[in-house]
Amino acid sequence: MLASGHGRQRSATRRRRYNRKEALIGYLFILPSIIGFTVFVLYPLFSSAYYSLTQWDGIKDPVFVGFKNYIYMFTKDPSFIPSLQATILFAILSVPSSLILGLLLAVMLNRALPGVRLFRTILYLPAVLPSIATLTLWKFIYNPQVGLANQVLEFLHLPTSTWLGSYQMALPSIVIVGLWGVGATMIIFLAGLQAVPQELYEAAKLDGAGAFNLFLRITIPMISPILFLQLVMQIIGALQAFNQAMVLTGGGPGFTTDLLMYSIYQHGFGNLGQFPQLGYATAQVWVLFIMIIIVTIFTFRLSSMWVYTESNLD
């Protein structure tokens, strides 16, 4: 943001008024995004708000029904509340575990010892694999008879599980698959850790601070902006998780992994042997969207309490 201020200041001293030809060229340059913004942001935003108030099978024109979809969703639909619960539980399980594990691994690998680069590469590797490749692989890992997961448990003389087929373990199993890609979080934290000035640690150590205090009083505050950005992005991502339910569980058993995105897909496009319910699916999209907005605003509000900012000149 600072750089943009400089640029503007400089060009402002150079030329006070906008040049008309320059303005035209400027708009030509950003035209692709103006079209993109209109087609992919404005149009869907307004039309989906309308579609959510209609009954619509995708073949005939949508019929306006007011808030019927929303009322049905919260009062009659037997699958909506469980799927909302599954989605929230998934976010609660996956986001903190990924952040904590990612930070621990980053701290662990933030050392200048021989081989550390190789270790970073290995830990990051699963994160670059295509999501479908990973998920289908884990489908076999979780196979109760021949899968790796039970083999490992047996090897360690621990009780085995039916994983994706179990009411208790289905959702945690999906979370574990996500944790295999924790390298993505780790690498972002690592970039943040490396930017923390070493003098801060030196100074604190002169004052006799222990390792735990250094971590709590220097590391955490210094990387809190990254922690915050990660938190927001991961919550938004977790609430929109889809592939896991689609590939691994099909929403089951029961509604334990019936994530909202999966439910939306099933209502709108799934072949449940019935007409697509696009209006109803769009209403669910809006519930999810509003949920995301609320969580994001809430996180931003709370952020001033714990996110460290270097200067507040503005």
Partner 1 sequence: MDATMSKPAMPTPTERRTKKLFGIGGWYVLVILVCVIMILPLMWMIGIAFKGNSDIYKIPPEFFPSELHWENFLKGPEAINFLQLFLNTTIITILSTIGSIVSSTIVGYGLSRIRFPGRKIWFYLFVGSMMLPGIVGLIPMFHLYLSLGFYDTWMPLILPSWLGNPFFIFLARQYYLSIPFSLDEAAKIDGAGHFTIFTRIMLPLTSPVWITMAIMSFTGTWNDYLTPLVYLYTDSKWTLSLGMASFAGGFAGVATTQWNQYMATDLLYMLPPLIIFLVAQRYFMLGVSSLATTARNQ
Site for partner 1 in 109-168 (CB under 8 A): 109-113, 115, 119, 121-126, 128-133, 135-141, 143, 145-146, 148, 151-152, 164-165
Q: Which of 18, 273, 274, 305 binds partner 1 (CB under 8 A)?
A: 18
Binding of partner 1 by 3 (CB under 8 A): yes
- Could you give phi then psi for residue 181, rounded to 5 degrees? -95, 20
- End-to-end alpha-carbon separation of the chain, Å? 11
- Could you give phi then psi for residue 281, rounded to 5 degrees? -60, -40
Q: Which of 171, 192, 259, 266 binds partner 1 (CB under 8 A)?
A: 192
Element (H, E) at 64: strand 63-64
Q: How far is the CB of 293 from partner 1 (least distance, A)?
A: 9
Q: How far is the CB of 144 from partner 1 (least distance, A)?
A: 9
Binding of partner 1 by 93 (CB under 8 A): no
d(CA 192, CA 180): 21
Q: Which is nearer to partner 1, 29 or 76 (CB)?
A: 29
Q: What angle do CA 215, 219, 222 make, to 5 degrees?
A: 155
Q: Which of 26, 85, 92, 96 binds partner 1 (CB under 8 A)?
A: 26
Q: Which is nearer to partner 1, 94 or 219 (CB)?
A: 219
Q: Which of 10, 60, 157, 301 binds partner 1 (CB under 8 A)?
A: 10
d(CA 216, CA 273): 55
Binding of partner 1 by 47 (CB under 8 A): yes
Binding of partner 1 by 198 (CB under 8 A): yes
d(CA 135, CA 285): 24
Nearest to 82 by CA among 256, 297, 215: 256
Cβ burial of 258 (10 Å; 0-12, 13-18, 19+) is buried
Binding of partner 1 by 296 (CB under 8 A): yes
Q: How far is the CB of 74 from partner 1 (least distance, A)?
A: 19
Say if residue 221 is preceded by a cis peptide, omega within 30 of 0: no
Window 224-263: contact mask with partner 1 (x via CB under 8 A):
-xx-xx------x--xx-xx--xx-------------x--
